[in-house]
Amino acid sequence: MAELIPIYLMGKKYSVPEGSTILGAIEHAGYQLIRGCGCRGGFCGACATVYRVPGDHQIKVGLACQTQIEENMTLTILPSYPANKALYDLETVKDPVKALWQAYPEIFKCLGCSACTKICPQDIAVMDYIAGAKRGNLEQVAELSFDCIMCGLCASRCLAQMVPYNVAMMARRLYAKNTLVKPDYVLKRIEEVEQGNYKDEIDELIGKDIEELRKIYAGRDIEGI
Ligand code: FES
């Protein structure tokens, strides 16, 4: 049995097993997470958390599913952070860079404070990709932001009040649509699907219930390793 240590969840004190993740501690304390929890593996970005530890004035951040609790830490999960998202139609965009600038003109208000980069739990150079967006370098934005899991923490800290991850998502889409060459094998597979080559298999899957689908998924062949 692990020793119990005190932490403060949303302002209330709980005793939770030492060594737990924040997510585990929250559940041990009796909360059922229906928001602020998804993959439990550090990929979905649903569990962004802000916390402080005694003796350190700095606000810290982490993914609740990946961050271990510390004695007397105070924390709050941010299951979502308000974020405006531009509407656009990739099919009608003529000038990708101009489209990005028009959709998110606030990028030009960036103060270069780097708060976004410092808070990113994925260690993404957020401020650098916003600089790339201002220069119209979509490839740079796409490359630098590739590991973004859209947890929202950068938007929570931005002094210019922008939503960096939505800027990055649009840049990646524009870059993929207009610049990247589509792989031949993908085009071939799309053609095969459109010709109905896999219709029987697809119809069979559509007819199954969720439990059967889970079994098939879990038992699938996995390449590599
Ligand atoms: S639950 Fe998905 S990143 Fe933590």
Lowest mean pLDDT among 59-63, 109-113, 221-225: 221-225
Q: Are strands 74-77 and 4-9 parallel, antiparallel or unpaired?
A: parallel
- The answer to whether residue 224 sits within a structural domain is no
- The answer to whether residue 117 sits within a structural domain is yes
Phi/psi of residue 216, nearest 5 degrees:
-65, -40
The CA distance from 131 to 74, in Å, is 34
Predicted structure pTM score: 0.80
- The answer to whether residue 128 sits within a structural domain is yes
| Strands of the 60-63 sheet, one edge to the other | 12-17, 4-9, 74-77, 48-52, 60-63
DSSP 43: S
Residues 139 and 120 in one domain: yes
Q: What pLDDT is attached to residue 223?
A: 66
Q: What pLDDT is attached to residue 3?
A: 94
Last residue of a domain, one of 18, 52, 77: 77
What CATH number has the domain bearing residue 159?
Answer: 1.10.1060.10
- The answer for residues whose C-beta is within 8 angstroms of residue 139's C-beta and 6 or more apart is 175, 179
Residues 191 and 173 in one domain: no
Taking the centre of ligand 1 as the mean of its atom positions, its distance from the CA of residue 200, in whole angstroms, is: 35
221: pLDDT confidence band, cut at 50, 70 and 90? confident
Q: What pLDDT is attached to residue 2?
A: 83
- Write the CA distances from 65 to 15, 60, 70, 122, 196, integer angstroms: 18, 15, 14, 13, 42
Q: Is 133 in the pocket of ligand 1 (CB under 6 A)?
A: no
The helix (H) or strand (E) run that includes residue 5 is: strand 4-9
What CATH number has the domain bearing residue 69?
Answer: 3.10.20.740
Q: Which residue has the higher pLDDT, 212 or 220?
A: 212
127: its two tokens: 């401020």
Residue range 88-105: mean pLDDT, rounded: 96
Ligand 1 atom closest to the CA of 47, numbered from 1: 4
For ligand 1, pick from 39, 122, 148 the residue to mutate: most ligand atoms within 8 Å of CB. Answer: 39
- The answer to whether residue 154 sits within a structural domain is yes
Cβ–Cβ under 8 Å, residues 7 and 25: yes
Q: Is 77 in the pocket of ligand 1 (CB under 6 A)?
A: no
- The answer to whether residue 71 sits within a structural domain is yes
Q: Is 99 in the pocket of ligand 1 (CB under 6 A)?
A: no
The CA distance from 176 to 101, in Å, is 17
Residue 49, classed as helix, strand or coil, is strand
Residue type at position 53: V
Percent pLDDT > 70 in the chain is: 99
Residue 102, classed as helix, strand or coil, is helix
- The answer to whether residue 84 sits within a structural domain is no
- Is the confidence at residue 126, as pLDDT, over 90? yes
- The answer to whether residue 144 sits within a structural domain is yes
Residue range 119-140: mean pLDDT, rounded: 96
Ligand 1 atom closest to the CA of 65, numbered from 1: 4
Q: What pLDDT is attached to residue 225?
A: 44
Residue range 189-213: mean pLDDT, rounded: 94
Last residue of a domain, one of 44, 77, 110: 77
- Is the confidence at residue 98, as pLDDT, over 50? yes
180: its two tokens: 């990247």
Residue range 195-211: mean pLDDT, rounded: 94
Last residue of a domain, one of 46, 77, 108: 77
Residues 193 and 118 in one domain: no
Domains held by the chain: number: 3
Q: What pLDDT is attached to residue 224?
A: 55
Q: Which residue has the higher pLDDT, 170 or 38?
A: 170
Residue range 17-36: mean pLDDT, rounded: 93
Residues 147 and 106 in one domain: yes
Q: Is 35 in the pocket of ligand 1 (CB under 6 A)?
A: no
Residue with tokens 């879990």: 218
Residues 95 and 155 in one domain: yes
* Angle at CA of residue 20, ends 14 and 22, nearest 5°: 70
- The answer to whether residue 72 sits within a structural domain is yes
Q: Is 46 in the pocket of ligand 1 (CB under 6 A)?
A: yes
Residues 73 and 149 in one domain: no
Residues 192 and 173 in one domain: no
182: pLDDT confidence band, cut at 50, 70 and 90? confident
State the residue range of the domain holding 203. Answer: 186-218
Q: Is 63 in the pocket of ligand 1 (CB under 6 A)?
A: yes
